[in-house]
Structure formats: C-alpha cells, structure tokens
Amino acid sequence: MRGSMLEFLDVVDVERIDGTLSRDFEVARVIREWQGRGPVIVYRVEGCPQDSASNLVDLRFKLYKALGVGSDEEAYLKILDAMSSPTRPSVVGAPRLREAEGGLMEVPAVRFYEKEAGLYLSSAIFIACYDGVCNASIHRVLVKDKRVGVVRVVPRHLWELYLRAKSRGQDLPVSVVIGVHPAIMVAAASSPRFGVFEVDVASKLLGNLWVYESPIHGNPVPLGSAVVIEGLLSRDMAEEGPYLDVIGTYDRVRNQPVLKVLKVYLDVNELTHVILSGGLEASLLIGFTREAAIWEAVSKVVARVHKVRLTPASGGWLHAIISIDKRHEGDAKNAIMAAFAAHPSLKHVIVVDSDIDPDDPSQVEWAIATRFQADEDLVIVRNVRGSTLDPSSRDGLTAKMGIDATKPLNAGIEYEKPRIP
C-alpha cells in the first residue's frame, strides 16, 4: 500500500465542508461539531494548497476499518503481532513533489483553544534514523514562522536519539510527515521496544507499505504522505506551550528543541490531517495501543478479558475500565495490578464483571454502587510514577487507585443485573 489517506477514505463516509476555514479556532469548532457523528470531514484551511481531513478515527469502527479488523480482540492481536514481528516496507521511487515556498505556512497549522501559544501542527510524525536506530513518533509543533517550529519531545525514543546527537555536538536530522493512512498513525502512536521502527510496524499492519527515501535526509517515508518536511531537531531550545493536551488541560510552558526547516515538500494530490487535541480522535489514537498492552497483561492473570476501555474523558490515557470473567476471589485485584504494570501512566482502574458494559458509564456506576465496598475492594498505590500530563501529580509522582466492582463468586439474585426478556 502507498500509505495514503485516500486509500482509507475509499472505505468510509466523507462529508465535504464548504468554504475556507480560518486557522484561528474555526477549524477546531468544525472538528468538534462533527466528531462522533460518523463521517470523516474534508475541508480547506486558509493559506493551504491542499485539502485537510479530520475525525479519521474518532470512532472505534473507523479504527477497525483502518486496521482491517472486526473487533477489539482482533485489533489488539494484530497490533501486538506487528510490534513483536514488524516487516520491512518496500522501497520505491519518489513521487513528484512540489516545494512549498511558504514553508510551514502552507501546512495546516491551527490554533485550537484560546490560551494556546499559537499555531500548531497536531498530526506530525517525526521520522529519525541515527546510530543505526530508526524511530517514528507523533509530536506537536508550535509554528513560529515558515522555517522555524518548536517541538514537544517527551522523554521516549525520539528524545534518546536527540540526546545521542546532541552529546556529539550535532543536530538530529528529521523527516516530518503529515497526512498518511491512519494505520500509520496508530503505529507511530505505539510504543514498541527501543530499536523497533514504527514504520516497519505500520508495514505489518497494512500488509505491505511502500516507502521512498526523503529528498534530503534519505529517511524512509510513506509514499502517500501529503507533506514531507526535511529539517533538523536542533540543539537550540525555545519556549513551547501552553497547549491543550489530550486529557483536556493546558500543558505548561517548557523549553523544547527548535525545529529548523530546510525544505517543505507537498504532494498536492494528497490530503493533510488535523487532529483536535482533547478530542475523540486524539484519545483513541493515543490510547488504543495501550489498550492492547493492558488486554494482553490482564489476559495472563484472569480467565478472560471481555473489554478494555481507556476512557475519552481521561484522554484515552489515565482511566481504564476492564470487564472480565472472574473465576477466583482476587482476580479483579490481580487485573488491577496487571493493568498498572502494562500502562504506567494509568491512574485509576475499575474492574467489572462481563455483564457490565464498560462503554456505558451508567452500568459502570451501577456496578460500583452495588458491588463495591471501599474497605475490602479498594486498591491504593502511593508515591508511584504516573503521567506528567496529570496536573495534580507531583513531578509525575502520583497515587493510583483500583476499584474491584465485581460481585462475589457465590453471589445471589441480589447481585444480578436485571433485564426485561
């Protein structure tokens, strides 16, 4: 596959938004209005020569279509297999690209919320190869002008490559792609072990991916990429933020690496991608591969896991609801601890029986109201590493809570969930 967004749009409903949308808030308003309603929306952003799309995978059924699966379990197994045994993509010739004289200002950088620092790129995949290791990961970019951006780089694999280059007095060459098939976004949002290249993970997810060598750095980029930015993640630092993060709070201002843009290339036949941070698409993209990790870990300690849900209200990141088949007293507590180990950023976990649907908050609340006793069924872990996205944490240190909302094994009719036949 070319890895083009257009390949995905052929299998989903699409709604065209008329007119040209302002970068300041109007794009955000339209994305929010349409999220969760079904179709992918396509529109034009002011100053951009290409159309943009949003809400590609704001709903779970669209993510299934992107991965070519029909259920959570099938998706989880496919993602876990791709991360453990990725496949090299096929290298092909480069497409015809147009150099964007306006640089970053021809790419859909958008201001989403009132207190954000400025225009942001929200779906940029950074591809870097250094010291024999390649990495692809999603990072937001604060656009300062057509040749300069500031990148939020969390301390994971791209940060490791950046530090290696910096220790040798070098800037890190990066190729930044925007506008690709959502399966590539899922791969870039995953966390395989260091040294596993997420582009190879995407190739396994898609069956085969065509890539070409980027024009300046020679990094492998998907053939269907709408935008390719060749640049340097420099040793220079600048302030980045505030920005509304995935959990719906403003991330604080930090000194972050400056992106020095060498060239911006456009494939004018392709569509770019804008993700509303704090929206449904952002939470599903960031959370789904973590759901897979939780599902795998909990499946090792209980008879069966029916559903894992990282909740949208927690950004698909901080809260999990897990439904299980309980065979022994203590199974739910084991599930809680397994979930915390599988996703260290997790803050709260609720475990319910298989008759409770984690997608229905009312059912989950009913289970807590009728099957939970705080002096017996509450698990608290104090002073552990959590998520720095949580503003109530103390430099990432947090308290974690697990709720066993399962019924006793010898439960009588008083614990049954009533139904009308």
- Residue 155 pLDDT more than 90? no
Do 309 and 362 lie in one domain? The reply is yes
User: pLDDT tens digit string along 249-268?
Assistant: 999 899 999 999 999 999 99
How many Cβ atoms sit within 10 Å of the Cβ of residue 245? 24
Using pLDDT thresholds of 50, 70 and 90, give the confidence band for residue 38: very high
Which of 23-37, 358-372, 383-397 shows the lowest mean pLDDT across its residues?
A: 383-397
Do 269 and 319 lie in one domain? The reply is no
Is residue 287 situated within a structural domain? no
Is residue 110 situated within a structural domain? yes
Alpha-carbon gap, residue 201 to 199, rounded angstroms: 5
Do 179 and 96 lie in one domain? The reply is yes
Do 262 and 313 lie in one domain? The reply is no
Q: With DSSP H G I counted as helix, E B as strand and the rest as coil, what are the percentages for the chain, rounded to 5?
A: 30, 30, 40
Structural domains of the chain, count: 2
Is residue 286 situated within a structural domain? no
Q: What is the model's pLDDT at position 244?
A: 94
Is residue 292 situated within a structural domain? no
Instruction: Please give the positions annotated as active site.
Output: 245
| pTM score | 0.94
The residue type found at 397 is: L
Do 107 and 149 lie in one domain? The reply is yes
Q: What is the model's pLDDT at position 419?
A: 87
| Tokens, residue 352 | 């319910």
Query: Would you give the DSSP letter of residue 24?
Result: B
Do 14 and 144 lie in one domain? The reply is yes
Mean pLDDT confidence for 310-320: 94
Mean of pLDDT over the chain? 96
User: pLDDT tens digit string along 43-84?
Assistant: 999 999 999 999 999 999 999 999 999 999 999 999 999 999
Helices (H), 213-360: 280-299, 331-342
Which residues have a Cβ under 8 Å from the Cβ of 240 and sit 6 or more positions away? Answer: 117, 142, 150, 151, 152, 253, 254, 255, 256
Q: What is the CATH number of the domain that holds 27?
A: 2.30.110.10
Is residue 66 situated within a structural domain? yes
Among 251, 280, 309, the domain boundary falls at 280
Do 250 and 333 lie in one domain? The reply is no
Q: What is the CATH number of the domain that holds 305?
A: 3.40.1670.10
Do 306 and 397 lie in one domain? The reply is yes
Alpha-carbon gap, residue 142 to 181, rounded angstroms: 23
Pairing, β 40-45 against β 14-21: parallel
Is residue 294 situated within a structural domain? no
Which residues have a Cβ under 8 Å from the Cβ of 360 and sit 6 or more positions away? Answer: none
User: pLDDT tens digit string along 165-214?
Assistant: 999 999 999 999 999 999 999 999 998 999 999 999 999 999 999 999 99
Q: What is the model's pLDDT at position 108?
A: 97
Do 387 and 337 lie in one domain? The reply is yes
Using pLDDT thresholds of 50, 70 and 90, give the confidence band for residue 413: confident
* Domain that residue 403 falls in: 300-415
Do 121 and 235 lie in one domain? The reply is yes
